[in-house]
């Protein structure tokens, strides 16, 4: 037995979460929703104390010379607290996923067998500098009947601790097990290592953050991890693509919000549609997009006075998160599918075509979580899919793939109502 204090602390948190999870699994929807509304109220009422805790984090961030985008992510304002509170109320309004009948089975013997949606149990969330993730994840886990253990980044430690106190006050006030949401009250790295070994009590780990955080988690976890890797998304303009649709989808997929995972990084064009490339390239350039071109697209664009960069093979597997796009010409649909399956991160890919059989082939052949025909990659999103909320977009294949809402925070059980049946 390891008796050091950090190990004891984390093991104890995990065991308490497991006990709380058994209570949470059968909690009434009304109780959960009342908790959420009360939490929304308390976040507003506690604006000053949240900003005060946040000021401590911002002061430390200044002393540690954190980058401007990092400080931006870390900062609370009264407006952001109002938005966070409204987000909590929206989750209260969503239907409760727990107890839903997923399927009525047809067993050979005629007993009543059903597959019912139930919570996963205990979910560990590991995240970085945004303190609002504390609230987002806690409420989605609670609404779906899961206990959560939150491990935030050290930059937001004071903000997170204050938010965790507010959550626990609201849990107690609503008579819900206070271990239903726990925040790990130390920034010690060892706590994370211990957390990832508690596979007897924690059922799922969701890392929310950059690639190095996710890789560290996968390397060190004995608990199943649902990964949200990067989005290397492609738009393929097929030979029969409608020119207007192609232009609006390419521009929207790349430019509407280039910093997010469902923005397009690659433009792939069928050689029979290569006459569309100059128009598309100009439109992208006008939006400030840097064009990284393969040899064929470079040749086509040579006479168009656009600034071009030679694309490397690696570029086609790169998430730029910025106004940059890689462009390739391919001889046919199969080559486009292969290029995507080799380079894509399995997130979201799109074909623009008027040819239904080409669309069908692309939709079946591209091995990604979301595959679209004539629609912007930017639709790959929990809210746009109608899930009402989103804890992330999984690039994993098991359990949850693509946008994860409340249903994806659940598992299922089989239930028989029998009348004495035996084998």
Q: For 112-180, give the DSSP string.
A: EEEEEEEE-SEEEEEE-S-THHHHHHHHHHHHTT-EEEEE--GGGHHHHHHHHHHHHHHHHHTT--GGG
CA of 367: how far to CAs of 55, 125, 274, in Å? 45, 27, 25
Q: Based on CB atoms, which residue is closest to its own copies, 83 or 105?
A: 105
Angle at 115 between CA 121 and CA 90, to 5 degrees: 55
Q: Based on CB atoms, which residue is closest to its own copies, 219 or 305?
A: 219
In angstroms, the CA 373 to CA 380 distance is: 12
- CB 423, min distance to its own copies, A: 4
In angstroms, the CA 116 to CA 100 distance is: 6
With both helix axes pointing from N to C terminus, report the angle between 29-45 and 78-93 in degrees, rounded to the nearest 10: 170
Q: Based on CB atoms, which residue is closest to its own copies, 152 or 346?
A: 346
3-class DSSP state of 53: helix
Q: Based on CB atoms, which residue is closest to its own copies, 90 or 374?
A: 374
- CB 86, min distance to its own copies, A: 17
- CB 356, min distance to its own copies, A: 9
- Number of Cβ within 10 Å of residue 39's Cβ equals 28
In angstroms, the CA 411 to CA 183 distance is: 24
In angstroms, the CA 74 to CA 85 distance is: 17
- CB 204, min distance to its own copies, A: 6
- CB 345, min distance to its own copies, A: 12
Q: Based on CB atoms, which residue is closest to its own copies, 45 or 416?
A: 416
- CB 348, min distance to its own copies, A: 9
Q: Based on CB atoms, which residue is closest to its own copies, 159 or 344?
A: 344
Single out the residue of 248, 318, 261 nearest to residue 287, CA to CA. Answer: 248
362 Cβ contact list (under 8 Å, min separation 6): 236, 238, 333, 336, 337, 351, 353, 371, 373
Q: Based on CB atoms, which residue is closest to its own copies, 293 or 391?
A: 391
- CB 343, min distance to its own copies, A: 13
- CB 401, min distance to its own copies, A: 5
The two tokens of residue 167 are 């959550």
Q: Based on CB atoms, which residue is closest to its own copies, 164 or 366?
A: 366
Angle at 33 between CA 83 and CA 161, to 5 degrees: 55
3-class DSSP state of 51: helix
Q: Based on CB atoms, which residue is closest to its own copies, 87 or 99?
A: 99
Greatest Cα pair distance, the chain, in angstroms, is: 81
Q: Do the Cβ atoms of 228 and 125 come closer than 8 Å? A: no
In angstroms, the CA 315 to CA 325 distance is: 9
- CB 157, min distance to its own copies, A: 30
Q: Do the Cβ atoms of 71 and 182 come closer than 8 Å? A: no
3-class DSSP state of 28: coil
- CB 103, min distance to its own copies, A: 10
Q: Do the Cβ atoms of 350 and 234 come closer than 8 Å? A: yes
Q: Based on CB atoms, which residue is closest to its own copies, 44 or 116?
A: 116
């Amino acid at each position: 037995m390891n008796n050091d204090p950090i190990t004891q602390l984390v093991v104890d948190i995990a065991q308490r979460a497991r006990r709380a999870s058994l209570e949470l699994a059968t909690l009434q929807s009304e109780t959960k929703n009342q908790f959420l509304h009360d939490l929304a109220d308390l976040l507003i009422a506690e604006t000053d104390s949240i900003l005060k805790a946040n000021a401590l984090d911002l002061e430390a961030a200044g002393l540690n010379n954190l980058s401007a985008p990092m400080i931006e992510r870390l900062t609370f304002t009264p407006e952001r607290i109002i938005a966070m509170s409204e987000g909590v109320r929206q989750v209260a309004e969503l239907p409760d996923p727990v107890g839903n009948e997923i399927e009525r089975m047809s067993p050979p013997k005629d007993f009543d067998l059903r597959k019912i949606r139930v919570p996963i149990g205990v979910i560990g969330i590991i995240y970085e500098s945004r303190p609002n993730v504390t609230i987002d994840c806690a409420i989605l886990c609670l609404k779906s009947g899961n206990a959560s253990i939150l491990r935030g980044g050290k930059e937001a430690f004071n903000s997170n601790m204050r938010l965790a106190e507010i959550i626990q006050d609201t849990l107690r006030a609503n008579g819900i097990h206070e271990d239903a949401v726990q925040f790990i009250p130390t920034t010690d790295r060892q706590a994370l290592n211990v957390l990832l070994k508690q596979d007897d009590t924690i059922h799922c780990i969701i890392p929310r953050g950059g690639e190095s955080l996710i890789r560290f988690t996968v390397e060190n976890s004995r608990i199943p991890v649902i990964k949200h890797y990067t989005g290397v998304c492609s738009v393929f303009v097929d030979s029969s693509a409608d020119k207007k649709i192609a232009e609006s989808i390419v521009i929207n997929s790349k430019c509407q919000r280039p910093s997010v995972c469902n923005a397009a990084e690659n433009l792939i064009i069928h050689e029979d549609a290569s006459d569309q490339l100059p128009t598309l390239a100009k439109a992208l350039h006008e939006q400030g997009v840097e064009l990284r071109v393969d040899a064929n697209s470079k040749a086509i664009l040579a006479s168009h006075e656009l600034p071009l960069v030679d694309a490397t093979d690696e570029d086609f597997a790169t998430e730029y998160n910025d106004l940059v796009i890689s462009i390739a010409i391919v001889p046919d649909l199969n080559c486009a599918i292969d290029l995507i399956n080799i380079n894509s991160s399995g997130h979201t890919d799109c074909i623009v075509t008027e040819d239904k059989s080409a669309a069908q082939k692309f939709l079946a052949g591209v091995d990604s979580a979301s595959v679209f025909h004539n629609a912007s990659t930017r639709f790959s999103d929990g809210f746009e899919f109608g899930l009402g909320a989103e804890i992330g977009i999984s690039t994993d294949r098991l359990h949850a793939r693509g946008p994860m809402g409340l249903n994806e925070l659940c598992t299922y059980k089989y239930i028989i109502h029998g009348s004495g049946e035996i084998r």
